[in-house]
Structure 1
């Protein structure tokens, strides 16, 4: 037997190099895999690095004001469920009183109640606008799905005894301050129970941008897409929503919605054959970190059922796939949109705002704000005000406090109620509690509009303080009772049309029915992604207004007159005018005619006689001298009465091509200032600006009732009233003449018989 000597050192070294090689190979493989998985996410806009201004996070109109020796203001913000925050930074803009003692005054940054940074006020760092700028890193380990960011001011202006509410104790936090996020994507499970995330995440305050892929476009599939667009629009709310449309390919990155049959799958979508209306969620084939929400069925009817089931019952779904049985949707009633203030009963303020948000602390607390969405066709012809039965209470006060409750609408002062003189100016409504008062406030209806904000501001005079006394204890508590009511019942619905402002702000007249069941949308026969995207973006805005999916919408690629009877019509146009628009060219506020075609005027349609008389006596309004013709403009919105049905409306959204049409529609979402310029009967869009031209014959939508309509008609047209008076006088004269003539003849016969 031969013995071999083994060099154990060399063996160990060989094993070491072998293991090291395996480790390097594993690391390289992991890096390649990670690069493959996250390459798409890195290319996504704002997927790894984005900033949110405090104005956007808190929907702020003004800067955050900090007052006194110790004051703080906070804002909530959330973290998307499909993102992990690697780094979070606060880019703070502030101004402060020059009288503050730099060594004793500072700003604290708090995250979820923990002080995470202290900013000294000793070194000014002014930017071009005169704001001090400073950046602070926030610890990501404190982050939760929902977070609270607060800025605290500690301020002193003297080394001696100081007044805790001295006017020199102040600092302002600029609304342009930002939170800067550095994030990486997370892969979520294929779980419908997470809906609406990740397609819409309520923690994300940015505008929703959700691609929708429609395979084998048909009218029914466009309707299904409209249902989902309006649902996501309702969820997005104030954020706004855009829906880029594709018909032949999936998005390269992120989340998307797919609508179509399995057998007609777009490249990359290998779907099993469904057995009924089906909704499923799976990874995006082009981006493993993204998700596809797939709405499918064996035919168009089942696809529509799946879309309705998803929009109305998403909160009940679970698992990766769900199927729907026969779906029954309750019919909606006019003006019953969830986001609109009911007009058939008094509404308590507790229904509009949580009880905690109706309470304020301190002598100079911020106002209590309540947003109101009203139908835009409320008539103020005979009813000028809206009654608010206001109940409020506050901590026991003395007459020296000079406290008051100021009521404003859209920051316009409406009423002021002193708080100290309770027995003289208020009515006791809670036995034994003299701080609880009931008052009635009459708010002018024309001050409300379709979008209104009511502010209730409690304010108290700060009592004078002697030097070197105890600090001021601010223990004030003020509240609006949640049983306070606002009452719109009894106000009729009646509005002069066309009114593109009502369409721009409230989607009217389509949103009169929350499910858009009395609306038909007509798209060009040769439509493409831009036209479909414009339609879905408008339907998303309608969902934002109503808070309900458009389960009753009808969509047609071109339509016959019989399809339009009894419907409000949304006409999507691009390129060459459609036959329908050509036929109705003379109805446009500014006619757009073909060179060789003159449209015939449709005859009178049966309708309300008084309304028709109003139209007959109405006068045309003329455009301003600076108006640009609709025909030469890149895009425009127009409104006129439907030639098919009286008191029904046609809204035209038209662009010279699909992209200009889509840009004009997106302007309504992205630019609030320009959207407010969409008014009258014609609004022309060019260079991202809107110019409105009122032109066309006025018609009326709604019903005042026979008696009120008669009074309104004669009040608007006094010549008609004079004519009625003259006719009445002639009739009365004829009656009296007949009576007197008959009596004279009878008397003559009696005389003849006596002779």
Structure 2
């Protein structure tokens, strides 16, 4: 038995201060990105790549500023015998730049900018315009490659060669700068939820989250809730200590909060409050109906069609209790559906392909995602950025807007020059 006296709870965490997320308000030294001693050092004839994980807030968004500043400093042993050697910088396994290692120096540094935008062409494709232009999970790799040439002996003159291992180091005072980005996201987008727990993990302690479950929730629903809370903590690096639990919408408990619902079916959601679950079940029912009809059509006349047991759903839509706030409903139909859902929750890789507003999980099949319901937005953008963002969805209107601006600019120049000419004529 343990007695805690004079307990004082911790204050609510601030937005985007999750310990596992990089601070995007300032330059970050690599020393803070490393997780263990010696992570920035590698030794060997062919040193193993030095890797750093960079987890960012999932709603980072940028339009004009497309580069991230990197100030990298590194040390290395000189290449032997003038053999070629390189340091390759990769971002998410994609080559960004490579630098030759000089045989006359043992250290080097450079400042660089690299972009997270997929290319200007993708901005014109509506399906490719992301709600944020940075991945939530990124990996920086620094791969030092040394050429190696060893002279061989002959039968008459046997030689033994002792190879000296190389050592490379990334200076912990190197920095990376993600400042200058806006927090803005277009929802629904379940990928933000499954990868980073957004929008709930915006406050790592879930101080602005309301969890709804019926009082007599079965063990499988409780298991799903606990696994989800544990997943949030793994994504933010902070325990879930300030979440509010309730069995129904009451006493304005949903105001200024995002709502997370755990239930077995849509009927349970309806009993928890006016959460408009119809937007979920229309897509679920339609999917089940088309799935059953496809099986019946392909089956032989004397065959028996048996529906898969177990189905689970994750759905997201705007909360009816607050503009820009979200409702995410996690439904596991019975024991089979909950088992299927929890199996996915415990394997993060299984949820990275989820997106849209509704995701449906069935046995022995990849998750199916659908865009359901109207879009809504969280975060903020300056007015000029909002104009640019709106025009990205309509390329023809963007071209027309550009032409109008060009005509206005040309007209202004023409009027100014014409006024100067008239003024000079009057003086003469």
Aligned to 1:700: 377
Counterparts of 2:191 and 2:392 in 1: how far apart (Å)? 25
Classify the secondary structure of the residue corresponding to 2:180. coil
- Which residue of the partner structure matches residue 562 of structure 1? 252
Distance in structure 1 (CA, Å) of the matches to 2:177 and 2:192:
22
Aligned to 2:82: 400
* Corresponding residue for residue 151 of structure 2: 465
- Looking at structure 2, the residues matched to 350 and 536 of structure 1 have their Cα atoms a distance apart, in angstroms, of 33
Find the counterpart in structure 1 of residue 301 from structure 2: none
Q: 2:389 maps to what in 1?
A: 712
Higher relative contact order (CA 8 A, sep 6+): 2
Verify the 8 A CA contact 1:531 1:661 in the aligned structure 2.
no
Backbone CA RMSD of aligned residues: 3.2
Separation of aligned partners in 1, 2:231 and 2:347: 13
Q: Is the 8 A contact 2:310 2:337 kept in 1?
A: no
Q: How many residues align?
A: 366
Aligned equivalents of 2:212, 2:61: Cα separation in 1: 30
TM-score by length of 2: 0.77
2:42 maps to 1:360: yes
Say which of 87, 101, 111 aligns to 1:440.
111
Residues 143-165 of structure 1 show CA distances to partners (whole Å, capped at 9, x for unaligned) of: xxxxxxxxxxxxxxxxxxxxxxx
Secondary structure at the residue paired with 2:355?
coil
**CA deviation map 1:523-561 (0-9, x unaligned):** 124312222221111011101111111221001112138
User: Is 2:370 the partner of 1:670?
Assistant: no
1:327 to 2, 5, 8: 8
Contact 2:67–2:114 under 8 Å retained in 1 = yes
String of CA shifts for 1:256-305, please: whole Å, max 9, x gaps: xxxxxxxxxxxxxxxxxxxxxxxx3xxxxxxxxxxxxxxxxxxxxxxxxx
Aligned position for 2:361: 685
Query: Match for 1:418 among 80, 88, 100?
Result: 100
Confirm or deny: 8 A CA contact 1:636 1:684 kept in the other structure. Answer: yes
Cα distance in 2 for residues equivalent to 1:703 and 1:717? 21
CA contact (8 A) 1:647 1:701 kept: yes
Conserved 8 A contact 1:515-1:552: yes
1:588 equivalent among 280, 289, 293: 280
Secondary structure, aligned partner of 1:440: strand
1:538 matched to 2:214: no
Alpha-carbon separation, structure 2, partners of 1:578 and 1:700: 24
Q: In structure 1, how many angstroms separate the alpha carbons of the residues matched to 2:333 and 2:214?
A: 13
* 1:416 Cα deviation after fit: 0.9
Rounded Cα–Cα distance in structure 1 between residues aligned with 2:275 and 2:325 = 17
CA distance in 1, matches of 2:85, 2:393: 46
Q: In structure 1, what is the Cα distance between the partners aligned to 2:106 and 2:362?
A: 57
Could you give the per-residue CA deviations for residues 353-394 of structure 1, whole angstroms, max 9, x where no partner exists? 245221111231111111221111111432323222111111
Q: Structure 1 residue 583: deviation in Å? A: 5.1
Deviation at 1:493, TM superposition (A): 1.3
Closer, same or farther: CA 588–390 of 1 in aligned 2, 3 Å = same
Please name the residue that 2:140 is paired with.
Answer: 454
Distance in structure 2 (CA, Å) of the matches to 1:589 and 1:493: 31
Distance 1:379 1:421 in 2: 42
Secondary structure of the structure 2 residue equivalent to 1:532:
helix
Which of these two proteins has the greater Rg computed from alpha carbons? 1
Q: Which of 326, 348, 351 pairs up with 2:29?
A: 348
Aligned residue in 2 for 1:648: 325
Q: CA 1:394–1:725 in 2, change beyond 3 Å: closer, same or farther?
A: closer
Within 5 A, what are the aligned runs for 1:301-320?
Answer: none
Deviation of 1:633 after TM superposition, in Å, equals 7.0
Match among 615, 633, 636 for residue 313 of structure 2: 636
Deviation at 1:407, TM superposition (A): 1.4
* Alpha-carbon distance in structure 2 between the residues aligned to 1:365 and 1:337: 33
The equivalent of 1:180 in structure 2 is none
Structure 1 residue matching 2:231: 3-state secondary structure: helix
Q: Show the counterpart of 1:375.
A: 57
Structure 1 unaligned spans of 5+: 1-279, 281-320, 423-433, 594-621, 730-755
SS of the aligned residue for 1:651 comes to: strand
| C-alpha contact 2:63 2:385 (8 A) present in aligned 1 | no
Q: Choose from 248, 261, 264 the match for 1:574.
A: 264
Q: What TM-score results when the alignment is normalised by the length of structure 1?
A: 0.45
5+ residue gaps, structure 2: 119-133, 294-308, 408-428
Superposition deviation, residue 562 in structure 1: 2.5
CA–CA distance in structure 2, aligned partners of residues 367 and 723 of structure 1: 48
